[in-house]
Every structure is written in C-alpha cells, then in structure tokens.
Structure 1
Amino acid sequence: MADAFYLPDPTDPNRFTSTELTRGPWSPDAQHAGPPSALLGHAIERCAPREHFQVGRVSVEILGPVPLAPLTVDARVTRPGRSVELIEATLSTERGPVMKANAWRFKLAEPELDLPERILPAGIQPGPEQAVPSMFPSGQPVGFHTGIEYRFITGSFAEPGPAVCWIRLKYPIVAGTTPSPLERTLAAADSGNGVSSVLDWSRYLFINTDLTVTLHRGPAGEWVCLDAVTYPQPHGIGLAESALFDEKGPLGRSTQTLLLADRG
C-alpha cells in the first residue's frame, strides 16, 4: 500500500499520481473529496507565498467524481492586495477540471490586536485520548478510511445523528512532505457529512457538492475535531455543518451542501 495519498510527478511539479488511499465511500473508482481538497490546499499555500499571510477561507466546488487517476493542479493569484488576496486553484484530469477552489489569504496583524479576552473564541472538546477509535464501514480494503484515524467523543458511524469526532491523517497528502495545518483541516472537514450522517448508508446517497472551510487560526498538532450535524430535507437538499477544534480550542467552521437521493 502507498505511504501517501498522492505521489508527485518527478517531471512536473503540478502533476500527481492518486493512490488507493484517496478512494471514497460512494464508488471504488472515485476519490473521497477530503484528499483532493487537501491537495488544492497544498497548491494554494505554495502559490506566490507571502510572509506573515495566512489562508482564512477556502471554498471548494466539486464539479464531478474525482477518479483515481493522475491529477494536475494549478493555482494563481486572481486578486492581489496589500492586506488580503484571492487565490484560485483548479484540479484537473486529462478530461478537464474536476474541482475548483477559491481561497482568501489575509495579512496577519503585527503587532497583534489588543482584544478583550471575553470576546475571543473559547471552549474545548475532550481530547482524542478520551475518544473511542472507530473504523468507517467500507466494503473496500484500502481507501480514505484506512488513511485516516477516527475517534468519536459522541456518536459513531453506527449511531445516526450529530457527532463529535477527532480525525488524524496517518499519511502525508503528498509524499515527501509534512501535512500543513490547512491540509489537515481540509482533509478532515470533508468528513462532516459522514461522521454525522442521519440517513441509512445502504439506502441513501448524501454526497456533498462543495466544501467551505473558514478558519480564524490553523490547528496545532495532528488532530482536528469536528462537532458535526447534518440537516436533511425530503426535497433532496441537505446541509452538513461542523464546528472545528484542536486540543487548544476553536479553529473555525465548515459547511457542505448535500445531494440526497435513493441509491436505487
């Protein structure tokens, strides 16, 4: 088994080979959206990097199933600025784009702003060492479910409804690199609809068409916690929303718009 989700092409820095660790739950031939979202984050952070800047929001549009195939990722600054700038990234196969992302990158305040302690984000979740390990019930021997570690504080894959779950990457997103805080967050946040699923996996599809992650800071350490809830509607549109934490406290929020359908 591969030791990373993607292998870089030695002849093209924008091209990557997808490994079996990217495989998702909906088809053995399609990727979970977490790894390619993180790969977009990987490219965004390397696009014209600027000292003392940090990505504050990433919005990913999933244009269709991402196959387990070679991928090309391109990123460019589309709106430069002294204090905030917009970066656009595209993930493509040989047939065309499969995912797009827009990211806002902010200049960090120097010195830091003098803000009252009472208005700062607060609160913690029980740590991953207090959580229950769980394996996603996939019919595939290798996939995203084997490339990450799930630990539940509340809820489980067998218990429909809201859940609090810690997630950790077992492998780097790109071989030969260390996952950045943004990569870890994007990879974990796309599991919100999975850990808080309310519908029967064997009967229904609940596939996200997008992922938006807003961060007021990056996670410290390897673990990202999702306090997740899914809101389904009988007309076939749903929403998954997650409050994001690390062991120090709140990080931000993520949302996913869901397509709901009968598997039959």
Structure 2
Amino acid sequence: MDLPGALYVPTTADGFEATEFAATEFQATEFQATALTIGPWDPAFQHAGPPAALLARAAERASGIEGGQTVRLAYDILGPVPVGPMRISTEVLRPGRRIELLEAVLSGADDRPLMRLTAWRMRVRDDGATPVDAPPVPVPAGPEQSRPESAAFFTQEIAYHRALDWRFAAGSFNAPGPAAAWTRPQCTLVEGEPMSPLEHLLVMTDAASGISAALDWQAATFANVDLTVALHRPPRGEWLGMDARTVLGDSGAAQAFAVLFDAEGAIGRSAQSLFVEAR
C-alpha cells in the first residue's frame, strides 16, 4: 500500500506546494491535507487528531518561552474540517517570561474558523527542588507485547487509521468498551520535518472516543465537539499510549476520558464531549 509520507503538505499563499527548502525558511501557515487525515464519519472531512496536532505545532512555534512546556491544550471543534487547503493563525493572548497563553485558529478555504486551540505554556525548571510524581504506566503490557490491530470501520483504505501503528494492550478498535492502546507514527505531521512527541500525542489522543466506543459505529454517531489535554510533563519516546473509557449519558451526550502515557509512565489526561445521535 502506497501511503502519503505526511499528514500535511505546506503550501504558499497562492496554494502551490512549497519546496522542501522553502518550507524550512518560513513559518508555513497554509497547508494541504493528505488522505491520511480522512476521518471515519465522512471521507470529505478530517479526523480531528491531525488538525489538533497541527494547531499545537503552531502554538509552540509562536511561543515566547524558549524550551518551554505545553501543559494544557483546549480545543473547540467549530465545524468539520475538510480534507483540503487550510490556514492557521496564531496570537499570544497572555505573554510572559514564565507563563503564557496562546491561541491558534484553523480556517478553511472560505476563511471560516473550524477549530480553535488555547494552550497554556510554562517555563521548564529542573533544579530538583520540586518533588516528582511519577505515576506508573497504567497498562500491563508494553507495545511489543500488545496486539496489532487496524480499525475496520473506516470506509477508505487510506485514512487516519493508517497514520499510526496501533497496538492494543486491552480492548479493541472493533468492539465496544474501554480500551488501552500504544501507538507510534507511520508518517510525519508536516512534510519535510519530524513529528515531535507532543504532535504525535495530539494525532493519537482525539481517537480516545473511537477506541473506547460505547455504541455500534453502524447504529450511531458520536463525534466530539471538543478535546482537552492536561499534561504534568511532556511526552517522550517513540511509543505513546492511552487508556480510554467512554461514559454515556441519558440525554444524547457522552464523555470520553483517557489516561495518557509513554514508556516511562503516565503523563496526563484527556477529556472529550460527544454529541450522540442515531444514524
């Protein structure tokens, strides 16, 4: 199977693909999505994981705290993101040398905002003065001992589920109920540059509600309208994971929660609000 090498290709303001040299010379704000961003609900629209990672990348590049850490990312999904051209704008909402708040907004070809991120970033301190809380990895098996699996509910052969190598320590993509999985990237986020661990984490984490689905994909839709990620330390390493659970309400809403981790232990948590509707 011939997969795209990246989730996004940088473009110039005129919509032409930027050369690899040009992409390293300017802060690209316009991108073309590849087929690897296609989501499960409609092949014309992206899974929210890749654009979440692209917004996190933009926020970190706009940061004034060199070498800082992103500790909270709050996303509002204002509308479906088409598999096509898009533009990202950034703004520092609260500047500071130790703490700052940034905003990154993704707009479609018609300039309508489709996804918004606010991100708190902090300076990094490593002076040994603060006691370290190191929660263990919450799953019994590592990636090598976990089960490889591919999602059966995507309608396209090349789509989001091919962007990561999925290994399940518990549960399944293809059966309802809580699940825990490890992932590693099978592509880059932006063509011509490596995917950072934080970007990898965001590509993965929006799938928490998918791997822990409480309803049959054929009978209901349960798309999320937001995503919040809170981290007590940055992710590290090639393999990242999540232990996810979806809780259904009785009025058409649900919440998906996940513990996020790397090979060294737990690193934070995520939460998603789901809009549930019968197909």
Determine whether 1:199 maps to 2:215. yes
Match of 1:159 in 2: 175
Determine whether 1:84 maps to 2:117. no
Distance between the aligned counterparts of 1:114 and 1:212, measured in 2?
25
- Matched residue of 1:160: which SS? coil
Return the match for 1:169 from 161, 172, 185.
185
- The one-character-per-residue Cα deviations of 1:103-129 (angstroms, maximum 9, x if unpaired) are 0001122524241x6xx1321232100
- The one-character-per-residue Cα deviations of 1:148-197 (angstroms, maximum 9, x if unpaired) are 11111110023311111112221011011111121111111101001111
Match of 1:226 in 2: 242
Distance between the aligned counterparts of 2:216 and 2:37, measured in 1?
23
Match of 1:261 in 2: 277
The 1:49/1:174 distance shift into structure 2, 3 A limit, reads farther
**2:9–2:34 contact (8 Å) kept in structure 1:** yes
TM-score between both structures, scaled by the size of structure 1: 0.95
Amino acid at match of 2:31: F
* Per-residue deviation, 1:49: 4.3
Match of 1:14 in 2: 29
**2:65–2:97 contact (8 Å) kept in structure 1:** no
Match of 1:2 in 2: 4
Distance between the aligned counterparts of 2:171 and 2:120, measured in 1?
33
The 1:214/1:19 distance shift into structure 2, 3 A limit, reads same
Distance between the aligned counterparts of 1:114 and 1:2, measured in 2?
44
Return the match for 2:266 from 227, 250, 259.
250
The 1:15/1:132 distance shift into structure 2, 3 A limit, reads same
Select between 106-115 and 133-142 the one with higher mean Cα deviation: 106-115
Return the match for 1:44 from 39, 43, 59.
59
The residue correspondences of 1:94-243 to structure 2 (distance < 5 A) are 94-95=109-110, 96-115=112-131, 120-124=133-137, 125=139, 126-137=141-152, 138-243=154-259
The alignment yields a C-alpha RMSD, in angstroms, of: 1.4
TM-score between both structures, scaled by the size of structure 2: 0.90
- The one-character-per-residue Cα deviations of 1:48-82 (angstroms, maximum 9, x if unpaired) are 44224111010111001000110101112110123
Structure 2, unpaired ranges of 5+: 12-17
Structure 1, unpaired ranges of 5+: none
Distance between the aligned counterparts of 1:159 and 1:221, measured in 2?
29
